[in-house]
Amino acid sequence: MDSTLQRAAELLSQARLPVFGGLFTDVKGAAAALSLARKLGGVVDHAASEGTSRAARVMRETGATPASFGEVRNRADTIVVIGNMPRTRDPKLLDKLFPARATLPRPGDNKRELIVVGAKKGKVPSGVRVTEIGGKNALPELVALLAAAVREGPFDIRDSALAKRILSAGERLRNSAFAVFVYDPAELDEPVLHTVLEAVRHLVKTTRAATLSLSAPGNGEGVNLCSTWTCGLPVRTSFAGDVPENSIWAYEAGRLLRSNEADALVWIDALDGEEATPPTRSFRGVPAVVLSSRPVKAGRDDVVIEVGAAAADHDAAVYLPQIAGIGMVKATAANSKRPTVAEVLSRIEALIDAKGAA
């Protein structure tokens, strides 16, 4: 192990711009990666940051209106599910959002209702009225039409049956006591995210409304939060300059590797039950230090370190949608001998420090 870590330290101290990618790890792993990236003047990115980065940029530009999962489940009377991804990502989503059991007291006396936009309504919990806003139109257009209907603004489409459904959905949303738009930011482009946000902002002038954004895979939210409290910025941040700098385009791990701007990769994939997709096949083309909890195909010169899977081999603080925040998940097989990502990265950092001091 020691010689492997030594090789990793060697590889990384020679790098000009190392990228920390994957980052499928717990909060401690993320904190250790951020610490090492800062020391080396590297870049941090997460393998599922496409959606979270877009959502982060929209938030920086104009704000946000999130609601917690618990609030939506207990109190929403109208839930708008946008696109396919929310239910693809979580097939039981609707059962969770429309629980059969009693809820906390909720505002208004509307029956609970579901509006599905740009997707088939699929299987819906019994007793929930559902409206499908779909057809041939593209998802962004459907969202824009619904937003127009919410505002009682004019719109013109040929499909008169669809137009009627959209108008009626707009009315229902205006008459809701708590309307919530559910989506996965990975499925929506920024203009669509803005459109949804503006619809919510229109509704809250007279009633209660919010958004529920599906959390990214691989503890994407947890890693993003950790990055933000550590350095003031979310992932896709570079520590190469005097001050940390964030850019969704410039500091995307895949782009940095493909363009050869990055000359080393630290790839971290160590969460139970989830697997990060590497930006390049078998990490080819750039020297890599790979921390993985599963067998990996790596290049001959890559340094591969087997680590424990967070939440299986060791307790792990990760983002949990049910509490809309970071929570602690107990290990399922705590007897593992494999080190954690945080332990490995800290030891590599110590070796680099020692080299610097020598």
Partner 1 sequence: MLVKLEGGRIIDPAHNRDAVGDLYLEDGRIVEKPDGREPDEVHDVSGKIVMAGAIDVHSHIAGSNVTLGRQLMPELPLLAAAEGQPVLPSPAAWGSYATGLRYAQMGYTTVIEPAMIPTHAIQAQTELASIPIIDVAGLVVLGNDDYTLNLLRKGDAKSDELKDYVAWTLAHSKAIGLKVINAGGSEAFKFNARTFDLDEQVPEYGVTSRGIVEAMQKVVADLGVPHPPHVHINNLGIAGNVDTAVATLKATQGRPIHMAHIQFYGYGKEGDKGFSSGAPRLMEAINKHKNATVDVGQVLFGQTITISGDILRQFDGRRAANPKKWIINQGEGNGTGLVPYKYKKKSFVNALQWAIGLEIFLLADDLWRVLFSTDHPNGALFTRYPEIFHLLMDKNERSRWFDALPEATRQVSTLGSISRELTLSELAIITRAAPAKLLGLIDRGHLAPGAIADVAVYTNRRDKTKMFSAADLVFKSGKLVVRKGDVVDVTWGRCYHVDPGFDSQIKRRVKAFYDTYYGADPSWFGVTEAVSDRPDRFATIRCAS
Residues in contact with partner 1 by CB under 8 A are 27, 31, 56, 59-71, 73-75, 96, 99, 101-105, 107, 177-178, 204, 207-208, 210, 225-226, 228-234, 242-244, 246, 315, 317, 320, 322-330
Residue 260 Cβ, how far from partner 1 at the closest point, in Å? Answer: 27
Contact present, 234 and 53 (Cβ < 8 Å):
yes
Nearer to partner 1 by Cβ, of 246 and 292: the residue is 246
Residue 206 vs residues 169, 175, 179, 199: alpha-carbon distances, Å: 17, 9, 12, 12
Alpha carbon distance, N-terminus to C-terminus of the chain: 22
Nearer to partner 1 by Cβ, of 66 and 140: the residue is 66
3 state SS of 54: helix
Measure the CA–CA gap between 281 and 276, rounded to whole angstroms.
Answer: 12
Q: Which of 225, 329, 236, 322 is nearest to 274 (CA)?
A: 329
Residue 88 vs residues 81, 92, 222: alpha-carbon distances, Å: 12, 9, 21
Nearer to partner 1 by Cβ, of 70 and 134: the residue is 70
Q: What are phi and psi of 314, to 5 degrees?
A: -150, 155
Range 199-220 burial, b when 16+ CB lie within 10 A, else e: bbebbeeebbbbbbbbbbbbbb
Residue 108 Cβ, how far from partner 1 at the closest point, in Å? Answer: 8
Nearer to partner 1 by Cβ, of 271 and 324: the residue is 324
Residue 102 Cβ, how far from partner 1 at the closest point, in Å? Answer: 7
R_g of the chain computed on alpha carbons: 23
Amino acid occupying residue 218:
G
Nearer to partner 1 by Cβ, of 62 and 88: the residue is 62
Q: Which of 357, 343, 355 is nearest to 35 (CA)?
A: 343
Nearer to partner 1 by Cβ, of 36 and 166: the residue is 36
Residue 153 Cβ, how far from partner 1 at the closest point, in Å? Answer: 22
Cα angle, residue 29 at apex, residues 333 and 241 outer, rounded to 5°: 170
Nearer to partner 1 by Cβ, of 192 and 317: the residue is 317
Residue 304 Cβ, how far from partner 1 at the closest point, in Å? Answer: 25
Residue 323 Cβ, how far from partner 1 at the closest point, in Å? Answer: 5
Residue 176 Cβ, how far from partner 1 at the closest point, in Å? Answer: 11
Residue 68 Cβ, how far from partner 1 at the closest point, in Å? Answer: 4
Nearer to partner 1 by Cβ, of 63 and 356: the residue is 63
